Amino acid sequence: MWNKEMSVLLSKGLIILTLVMAVSSVGWFSQCIGMIEEYYYRPFGHVGSCVLGFTVIAFCCALLVFLFMLLNNISKKKIFVPENVKNLRIISWCCFAVAALLAVWGILTFLEIIFLAAFIVGFIGLILRVVKNVFEEAVSIKEENDFTV
Amino acid sequence: MPIIVNLDVMMAKRKISSGDLAEKIEITPANLSILKTGKAKAIRFSTLEKICEELDCQPGDILEYNKE
């Protein structure tokens, strides 16, 4: 029977799978960049593009690790705790960093798809920031409730 | 917080232990400790009423406002 624990387990599994994909992408990313560069303007050169791409992957991996930590706390029934607020804050800043890097890449390569990706990631970061603000308020309400005698 | 809880002073005057008071006013010793140490963010009227009844005092004897 499907329940909350299984749902959390599925989310954890998906995060680990995405993390494995992100880490393994380091292997073929350089070739992928090379293929793109055959058809598009290369403002940074191959090495510059690879550094930019790997930085994006590094931020994605950090984001996934903190997402896993958030989910881990939720599975331990630690929901409205300051640690989760910190995790959400880091996740949202990772999104903004990825969006900024993609936007720079998009501006210099004139690739619309990268612009679109930057906009989507930035928008997700914004939503997560609002969720973080909600969590921050919820933590203070919970604290007040816990310390009401 | 500018509200000071003088519960320990009142308890000493009435010569009552924390365990006894917690049992009589029907709250956990942990919650009474939160109240005594000034960590409490709020107090229910029902709790205050029970404390006043048990210690035979006024709310002002337990709570004090001190301008910071």
**Would you say A93 and A111 are in contact if contact means Cβ atoms under 8 Å apart?**
no
What pLDDT digit, counting tens, does each position of B3-41 carry? Answer: 899 999 999 999 999 999 999 999 999 999 999 988 899
Give the residue on B whose Cα is nearest the Cα of A148: B42
Question: What ipTM did this prediction achieve?
Answer: 0.74
Instruction: Say what the pLDDT of residue A43 is.
Output: 66
φ and ψ at B4, to 5 degrees?
-105, 135
**Would you say A111 and A35 are in contact if contact means Cβ atoms under 8 Å apart?**
no
Domain extent, residue A84, equals: 4-147
Q: Cα(A74)–Cα(A82) distance, rounded to whole angstroms?
A: 12
What pLDDT digit, counting tens, does each position of A124-149 carry? Answer: 999 999 999 999 999 999 999 989 98
Check CB contact under 8 Å for B40 and A143: no
CB proximity list for B58: less than 8 A, separation 6 or greater: B52
Q: In percent, how much of chain A has pLDDT > 70?
A: 94
Check CB contact under 8 Å for B44 and A149: yes
Chain A residues whose CB is inside 8 A of the B44 CB are 148-149
Chain A residues whose CB is inside 8 A of the B39 CB are 147
Asked if A1 is an interface residue toward chain B (Cβ–Cβ < 8 A), one would say no
Domains held by chain A: number:
1
**Mutate which of B33, B34, B41 to disrupt the A interface (most A C-beta within 10 Å)?**
B41
What pLDDT digit, counting tens, does each position of A24-47 carry? Answer: 888 787 777 777 667 666 666 777
**pTM, entire model:** 0.78
The full set of domains in chain B, from first to last, is 3-62 (1.10.260.40)
What pLDDT digit, counting tens, does each position of A89-129 carry? Answer: 999 999 999 999 999 888 887 778 888 999 999 999 999 99
Chain A residues whose CB is inside 8 A of the B43 CB are 148-149
